[in-house]
């Protein structure tokens, strides 16, 4: 599969939640090409050190409160006057619970991370994206990473899925609001890579969920992000990255 070769921009790309998995691979992809990258992370992991060694600016940020979100915004503005793109990758995963108080806490947490943080970051960093567009003479980008499960719901993770569905809807609103200088799109991935400890039974079940019977790795997400950054005629779109899972009964 041929990988897109995207140009390097002077303005940095901001990637939230980049300490591991999707965010880490996206950041590393750009850094190895000489593209400036700013990452946020909630908890320090080895991936943060690796990205910093490659040249990333790393900012610790906790999206569980508005104060944490605004702290990241202020830190980003201290680092740069312009942005090429914002990739909203930061995510939290919590199962529903039958206890009402605990369920309410989970819902609030999902709201904070998947809706409130992208909402406030988009609003507060719009001026940096506009500066990036003026600097480069081309449109800049916001990309929301949602989840393929939004299309069918979940009986175990209803709060998580509802918050990701709301993020997809925000894609439409911000695409309309920020045009024509900022494109806003979403990518809805299914499982891209197994976690350590995923047993053979689980892996076999996961492979059977899509017609392509493939868990492709994070390279397909990198390719899709590159496509959107280089695509001048697409905004308000939600791209499924699911191996054809929607075709299964």
User: Which residues form the catalytic set?
Assistant: 160
Q: CA-CA-CA-CA torsion for 192, 194, 195, 200, nearest 10 degrees? A: 160
Q: How far is CA 80 from CA 41, 57, 114, 129, in A?
A: 18, 11, 24, 11
């Amino acid at each position: 599969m041929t990988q897109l070769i995207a140009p390097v921009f002077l303005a940095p790309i901001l990637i939230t939640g980049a300490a591991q998995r999707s965010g880490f691979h996206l950041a590393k992809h750009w850094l190895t090409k000489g593209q400036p990258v700013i990452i946020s992370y909630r908890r320090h992991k080895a991936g943060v050190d690796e990205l910093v060694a490659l040249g990333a600016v790393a900012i610790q940020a906790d999206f569980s409160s508005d104060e944490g979100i605004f702290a990241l915004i202020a830190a980003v503005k201290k680092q740069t006057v312009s942005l090429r793109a914002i990739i909203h990758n930061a995510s939290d995963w919590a199962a529903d619970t039958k206890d009402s108080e605990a369920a309410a806490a989970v819902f609030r947490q999902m709201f904070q991370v998947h809706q409130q943080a992208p909402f406030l970051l988009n609003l507060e960093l719009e001026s940096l994206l506009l500066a990036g567009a003026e600097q480069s003479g081309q449109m800049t980008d916001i990309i929301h990473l949602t989840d393929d499960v939004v299309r069918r719901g979940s009986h175990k993770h209803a709060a998580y899925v509802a918050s990701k569905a709301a993020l997809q809807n925000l894609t439409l609103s911000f695409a309309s609001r920020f045009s024509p200088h900022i494109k806003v799109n979403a990518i809805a991935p299914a499982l891209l890579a197994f976690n350590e400890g995923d047993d053979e039974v689980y892996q076999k079940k996961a492979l059977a969920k899509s017609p392509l019977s493939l868990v492709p790795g994070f390279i397909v997400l990198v390719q899709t992000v590159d496509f959107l950054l280089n695509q001048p005629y697409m905004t308000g779109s939600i791209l499924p990255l699911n191996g054809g899972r929607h075709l299964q009964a």
